[in-house]
Chain A
């Protein structure tokens, strides 16, 4: 359990040390800080942006924006006021909200270049199935209260520990654990209502759909 709590993200102490160094002008520290924050931000953005009909690439762009915003806002960060993860989460949440507002108007997805050849990685059907699966679950998660949604994203997709999630959401670890327990219970009920029990990855989406 202890080992499991050591999420990909470094411990808060380590992150805070990196922030200190970066604020002092240490470029290496800043690079490490970005390397620590970026995956988390990417996952979070994907969890939120791609939950809809958005492509992953758009989420990654958003993640990039978030990282930039984090770096640019770094000088304004005061250690001790809020956990750094909470600081990053606040920025990311606002950024994603901005993207959602903007995407409501613009339904285009910016891509660096239009591919000439077909993508051989996944067949369109498979891709559709997968995205459909993810979309189904995303839709199910979206039915949860916002706080539980965030907790599930942070815990499952971003991979934060309960403590880290609590820090990001400025909650107590206990409240996070209770909330995630209720979210899982809600999902279980949804799945049960949707039909048969556990399904294998292939047909599960169809069952739900």
Chain B
């Protein structure tokens, strides 16, 4: 192995070594040359216990969780990854849509696509919305009913609305609906107070009214604060008309409506002469106003004559949106509410309620063709009962049924009672002596006379009021 040979290797030696290495590589043959032997041992040592050949699957198992990617057949792996991605995206979309739907459903209204969702997810709000809608609908109905003068329908609608209002959430405009309801209620009351004039018809209705004896006690209150004589003319005339009108419809209900109306003219006079009783009047007003519509129908009465708190709001609306003459009316109407004590008995014949009252007979002579009906109210003898009646009024919010009496009582002021002007508070203003007659003069010139007679002499104090109304005749109750 000289330098020369290293630079220029012997071709034979090269081939020989190549052959030697080939033998070593294949493990074939055996050589005793040191180099070949050493290399063979080296090789054998290194190739002991060769590990098994891993399969593709094993390799891929090893690659799992690593960053290696087996592109050629990684379809499954990539599909797996994309499957995860797709699942995640789908879940995100579902969540997004669900959330959006849920949130959107909060503002849904019946008929909307999301309304069913609202009913499921936001049950409270759904109820509120439904209530709001029904209330609004009812108010619309009431408005239209009022427009065509269908008071009964209007009352029904208002009752529905009033029932629905408490269920409306503040967010859904409860205040608005409530305000609307109140204004409509006031409007209706106004309408009721000033119904279209109709040709009055005879005393027929009068008869109906008269029997509403329960009104009698309330009569006291009315006279309380007015100089009856002065107001008599106007009040009577109006009252007559009103009563006559109502008589056409329903005796009870009609009586009330006219009552307020009838009172209007005389109201101012009344107020001017108002006495200490005025303190209570506001309360009267409210109750009277609220009560007025009630008598028509018991159902309506229930809704329109709810707790006193509710009634207390009436005056507010009245003063706000109502006609100016309203307060005057109320003054008169206060008489009506006075009747509360006679709420239930409205339908009852007076004997029961008027057991202690003197019989009052009113006779009126109609002037001209217009028929007047006179309602005379029997007042209890003693001032105590009168004051009772008066005082009870404020505290008796629901004097609905007695509303029929207002009509009559409203007219009472017109009764020219000598004693009425005297003691407003303590003394019964209208406490005609038993057996006395009170002469009334209506603006139309009709004369009304009320006579009190001891009805049942045998019963001692008990006096049965007898109301005799003379329009074209005399009616004795």
What's the Cα separation between A72 and B19 when bound, in Å? 36
Given contacts A72-B69, A188-B35, contact A180 B17 (CB under 8 A): yes
Q: Are A22 and B72 in contact (CB under 8 A)?
A: yes
Across the interface, B34 reaches (CB within 8 A) one of A7, A60, A188, namely A188
Stretch from A97-105, A106-114, A195-203 at the B interface: A195-203
Extra contacts, 18 of them, besides A34-B56, A157-B43 (Cβ < 8 A), are A1-B22, A4-B28, A31-B56, A35-B55, A56-B48, A60-B51, A67-B59, A133-B42, A134-B41, A156-B24, A157-B47, A159-B26, A159-B27, A177-B14, A181-B17, A191-B38, A198-B33, A204-B41
Across the interface, A198 reaches (CB within 8 A) one of B1, B34, B42, B59, namely B34
In this assembly, does B279 line the interface, its C-beta being within 8 Å of a C-beta of chain A? Answer: no
CB contact list, B65-87 vs A, under 8 A: 66, 68-73, 75
> Which residue of the partner chain A has the closest CB to B16?
A181
CB contact list, A172-209 vs B, under 8 A: 177-178, 180-182, 184-185, 187-189, 191-192, 197-199, 201, 204
Q: Is the interface of A mostly helix, strand, loop or mixed?
A: helix
Q: Is the interface of B mostly helix, strand, loop or mixed?
A: helix
16 CB < 8 A contacts A-B = A25-B72, A30-B73, A31-B56, A43-B50, A50-B46, A56-B46, A68-B66, A72-B71, A138-B42, A141-B42, A161-B25, A162-B21, A177-B18, A180-B17, A198-B34, A204-B38
What's the Cα separation between A72 and B71 when bound, in Å? 7
Q: How far is the CB of B35 from the nearest CB of chain A, in Å?
A: 5
What's the Cα separation between A147 and B47 when bound, in Å? 22
In this assembly, does B4 line the interface, its C-beta being within 8 Å of a C-beta of chain A? Answer: no
Q: Are B55 and A131 in contact (CB under 8 A)?
A: no
What's the Cα separation between A176 and B62 when bound, in Å? 36
Residues of B within 8 A of A93 (CB): none
Across the interface, B41 reaches (CB within 8 A) one of A25, A187, A201, namely A201
In this assembly, does A71 line the interface, its C-beta being within 8 Å of a C-beta of chain B? Answer: yes
Interface residues of chain A, those whose CB is within 8 Å of chain B, are: 1, 4-5, 7, 22-27, 30-31, 34-35, 38-39, 42-43, 46-47, 50, 56, 60, 63-64, 67-69, 71-72, 74-75, 130-131, 133-134, 137-138, 140-141, 152, 155-162, 177-178, 180-182, 184-185, 187-189, 191-192, 197-199, 201, 204
What's the Cα separation between A158 and B25 when bound, in Å? 7
Across the interface, A38 reaches (CB within 8 A) one of B47, B54, B66, namely B54
Closest CB pairs A-B (n = 3):
A134-B45, A72-B68, A75-B71
In this assembly, does B9 line the interface, its C-beta being within 8 Å of a C-beta of chain A? Answer: yes
In this assembly, does B148 line the interface, its C-beta being within 8 Å of a C-beta of chain A? Answer: no
As a 0/1 sequence over residues 190 to 229 of chain B, the CB contacts with chain A under 8 angstroms (1 = contact) are 0000000000000000000000000000000000000000
Given contacts A137-B38, A181-B14, A198-B37, contact A161 B22 (CB under 8 A): yes
Residues of A within 8 A of B39 (CB): 137, 152, 156, 187
Across the interface, B37 reaches (CB within 8 A) one of A26, A155, A204, namely A204
Q: Are B75 and A25 in contact (CB under 8 A)?
A: yes
What's the Cα separation between A179 and B38 when bound, in Å? 19
In this assembly, does B63 line the interface, its C-beta being within 8 Å of a C-beta of chain A? Answer: yes
Residues of B within 8 A of A130 (CB): 45
Q: How far is the CB of A6 from the nearest CB of chain B, in Å?
A: 9
What's the Cα separation between A191 and B466 when bound, in Å? 157
Q: Are A72 and B38 in contact (CB under 8 A)?
A: no
As a 0/1 sequence over residues 295 to 334 of chain B, the CB contacts with chain A under 8 angstroms (1 = contact) are 0000000000000000000000000000000000000000
Q: How far is the CB of A106 from the nearest CB of chain B, in Å?
A: 20
What's the Cα separation between A25 and B53 when bound, in Å? 20
Q: How far is the CB of A176 from the nearest CB of chain B, in Å?
A: 9
What's the Cα separation between A137 and B50 when bound, in Å? 20
Q: Are B69 and A42 in contact (CB under 8 A)?
A: no
> Which residue of the partner chain A has the closest CB to B70?
A71
What's the Cα separation between A172 and B45 when bound, in Å? 29
> Which residue of the partner chain B has the closest CB to A50?
B46
What's the Cα separation between A60 and B71 when bound, in Å? 24
> Which residue of the partner chain B has the closest CB to A196?
B34
Q: Are A75 and B45 in contact (CB under 8 A)?
A: no
Q: How far is the CB of A78 from the nearest CB of chain B, in Å?
A: 14
What's the Cα separation between A152 and B46 when bound, in Å? 13
Q: Are B53 and A35 in contact (CB under 8 A)?
A: yes
Residues of A within 8 A of B68 (CB): 68-69, 71-72
Residues of B within 8 A of A157 (CB): 42-43, 46-47
What's the Cα separation between A152 and B17 when bound, in Å? 11
Given contacts A34-B54, A42-B50, A201-B37, contact A156 B25 (CB under 8 A): yes
As a 0/1 sequence over residues 267 to 297 of chain B, the CB contacts with chain A under 8 angstroms (1 = contact) are 0000000000000000000000000000000
> Which residue of the partner chain B has the closest CB to A191?
B34
Q: Are A184 and B17 in contact (CB under 8 A)?
A: yes
Q: How far is the CB of B64 from the nearest CB of chain A, in Å?
A: 11
Q: Are A39 and B50 in contact (CB under 8 A)?
A: yes
Q: Which of B6, B42, B71 has the most CB of A within 10 A?
A: B42
